[in-house]
Amino acid sequence: MKLFCATESGQAVAQNGLSSPPPTPDRQHLENLDLVFLADTPQGARQLAHVRGELAPRSDFVVWMVEVDEEKLLPTPTYLTELPDPEHYLPMKDLPLLRKATNSTDRLAIICVLFRQSLQSHQSRFHACLETTGEAAHKGPIPPGALTRAAPEPFPVQTLYHGTTTDRLPSILSQGLKPNSRPADPASPKDGWPELLYLAASLEEARQIARNYAVRFTDEGQPVVCEVDARKLETYKCFPDDPYISYTPEITRMISKDFLHPRMSEEEIQIALSSVRRWICGHPPERWVRYWRDSLNKTGNIGYRGSISPDKIKVLHLDFDPLKLKN
């Protein structure tokens, strides 16, 4: 069976394989279970690694395709926790202990204790877990020979653009494009997600962004656009541009229900929409990952989590008159 896993380290994993990572402080109950958590899609692997705290916000990462033996796959403890029928997968003698749990965290901790005592008795449930959650747990380490880097899906467009300034070119030409390192705009409630590199499908859009940067950051030189070969990008590192999320059905329903009412002035509406954007960007971008293709198609903008190497970049210089632009 082929599943997927996302990791920060590419070279070390290629040499040593995958093993159970140290649990985060809020997941100490997973200690000693010796489980590697896998997902059924590259996007699911990225989200799973983020939720489990295995990917730092600004880190680059690798998605691996993992060839696994089904006999070593198990349902995840979290999946068992959420099942309504514990009597179907726990011994009768353990049910009173589980029923003493007063919240989901305690319930998960107890499940993990019982899980550790009788791992193989749950093996038959991994298919249901994978179908329901897109996740499964692998018992024991996974050797390097079972791993290959996940092949990227075909990118929807051939070229993307990034607007920046000339002072940043030496770093871009030597190290490539990296996520935003500029200070936040004090006039904006939130400048997107700093862990993402923002790209535009339109050259004109990127030009305008570059010009805006040159005006805002007057010590950074002239505007410049980097043309990116999108065919070499990895789709599982793509996220929607945060302004687009405000127009998704999920958010428009929330806005109409909780933020807007018919008698609001235009100024009050803009304040409410700013509050919505702050709320959106207060969540990690993984929450909105499913919208990245819609963002590209409808606004022409996306975020990319990771760096883009110099060999994928072509620099386009722009004519620029800052006085004319300000006027």
What are the sequence ranges of the domains in the chain? 2-149, 159-326
From residue 22, give the alpha-carbon distance in Å to each of 17, 19, 29, 34. Answer: 15, 9, 11, 10
Say if CB 156 and CB 296 are below 8 A apart.
yes
Write the DSSP string, 258-308: II--TT--HHHHHHHHHHHHHHHHTS-GGGGGGGHHHHHHHTSEEEE-S-B
The confidence score (pLDDT) of residue 230 equals 94
pLDDT at position 67: 93
> Do 13 and 93 meet the contact criterion of CB atoms below 8 Å apart?
no
List the one residue out of 111, 117, 116 whose CA is nearest residue 83.
111
- How many residues are listed for the chain in this entry? 327
Contact present, 219 and 174 (Cβ < 8 Å)? no
Q: Is the pTM of this model over 0.85?
A: no
Q: Are 174 and 311 in contact (CB under 8 A)?
A: no
Is there a contact between 302 and 244 (Cβ–Cβ < 8 Å)?
no
For residues 9-46, b (16+ Cβ closer than 10 Å) or e, as one string? eeeebeeebbebbeeeeebebbeebebbbbbbebbbbb
The Cβ-side half-sphere exposure at 216, using a 13 Å CA radius, reads 15
Residue 305: predicted pLDDT: 86
Whether domain 159-326 has CATH 3.20.170.30: the reply is yes
Residues 163-175 as b/e (b if ≥16 CB within 10 A, e otherwise) read: bbbbebbeebeee
Show Cβ contacts of residue 323 under 8 Å, excluding neighbours closer than 6 positions: none
**Residue among 84, 54, 64 at smallest CA distance from 4:** 64
Which residue is it, tokens 């954007």? 277
Task: Return the CATH architecture of domain 2-149.
Answer: Alpha-Beta Complex (3.90)
pLDDT tens for the chain, 327 residues long, are 999 998 887 788 888 999 876 655 555 545 556 788 899 888 788 878 877 777 765 567 888 999 999 888 888 877 766 665 554 555 555 556 556 665 666 666 666 655 555 555 667 778 888 888 888 989 889 999 999 988 777 889 999 999 999 999 999 999 999 987 555 554 454 557 888 999 999 999 999 999 888 888 888 888 999 999 999 888 888 999 988 888 887 787 777 666 666 677 878 877 777 788 888 888 888 778 878 889 999 999 999 988 999 999 999 866 554 444 443
